[in-house]
A = this chain, B = another copy of it.
Amino acid sequence: MRNRLKASDAIFASLLVALVMLIAGALSPGLAQEALPSWNDTAAKTRIMDFVKATTTQGGEGYVAPEDRIAVFDNDGTLWVEQPFYTQLGFVFDRVKTLAPDHPEWKEQAPFKSVLAGDLKGVAKSGEKGIVELGMATHAGMTTDQFSKIVTDWFATAKHPKTGKLYTEMTYVPMRELLDYLRANGFKTYIVSGGGVEFMRPITEKIYGIPPEQVVGSTITTEYALVDDVPVLRRLPKIDFVDDGPGKPVGINQFIGRKPIFVAGNSDGDYEMLRWVTAAKGPGFAMLIHHTDAEREYAYDRQSSFGKLDKALDEAERRNWLVVDMKADWRKIFGWE
């Protein structure tokens, strides 16, 4: 009898633990006051939270079923820093330096020459053609598994040129909180970026909680091949799909197959995506991150080479897109502040 009592006590205790976890899980999305702690209490935060409340309130006019709560985020300049140049360009520069010993001809050959000399203006002068050439030389010619390892290894040590912090630490805390907040409210979060999909996938789970299959981006052509009778996918030096501008709605339709109801971007490269999402029938929320904080991050918009924000900024008000003012709306920008 005594043993039976003990056993039932143990069962009861573990049931209690399960219960507490169950209740905590059920309650946490409701703790709205604690959401988005790195956001100041400005209109931006209120608008976001009002939208989420409306779409998740059952029986309400703006209610959206969980399976349709798709949220898409641009990456460069929206989730992490894109100045003084895109992170992926930093990767390209480092790879060119790493591979240079095997390519003595690069010393005399544009645009490689400029990269090796640390001459960013020379790289810029080589234009889109030069950038594509650099991209192909560093992103193609290996298998997908090999490339994934190269990227993972690079992110383990590569540092931002201005702050000296790891690139993986150069993400915006308020946006990571927003991702968490949306997920806690039943949203499925995706990245939809002009960046290379296989450059992002190895690290998005770790830094954003976004798994590889929820990353949409630009792609190069891959080819099935047998190497010593083992099947691999080879990365060819050929651009397959550019997930930027009008390519973003195309990419979303192709990869996700549902229209999102929440979209965040920061540049004219996101313009068509924002229009497409907010033109749809039913609820649709769009936001633009405006880089206004020269002290804590960078201040740029209409004239920037990276993340130019011009047309989308002009039209934001009449299209009812939220413009987030980084300086005014964010209490904190980076985790290491």
Contacts and interface: CB of A to CB of B under 8 A. Distances in A.
Nearest to A235: B253
Interface in A208-267: 211-213, 215, 219, 222-224, 230-231, 233, 246-247, 249-250, 253-258
A138 to B, nearest CB: 19
A15 B230 CA distance: 54
A224 B67 contact: no
Contact of A213 (B15, B18, B256): B256
Contact of A22 (B18, B246, B256, B258): B18
Quickly give the copy total for this chain.
Answer: 2
A14 to B, nearest CB: 10
A250 B222 contact: yes
Interface of A: 15, 18-19, 22-23, 67, 144, 188, 197-198, 201, 205, 211-213, 215, 219, 222-224, 230-231, 233, 246-247, 249-250, 253-258, 272, 275-276, 279
27 contacts: A18-B22, A18-B23, A19-B19, A19-B22, A22-B22, A67-B211, A144-B253, A197-B254, A198-B257, A211-B258, A212-B257, A213-B256, A215-B257, A219-B254, A222-B250, A222-B254, A223-B250, A224-B246, A224-B247, A224-B250, A224-B272, A224-B276, A230-B279, A231-B272, A231-B275, A231-B279, A255-B255
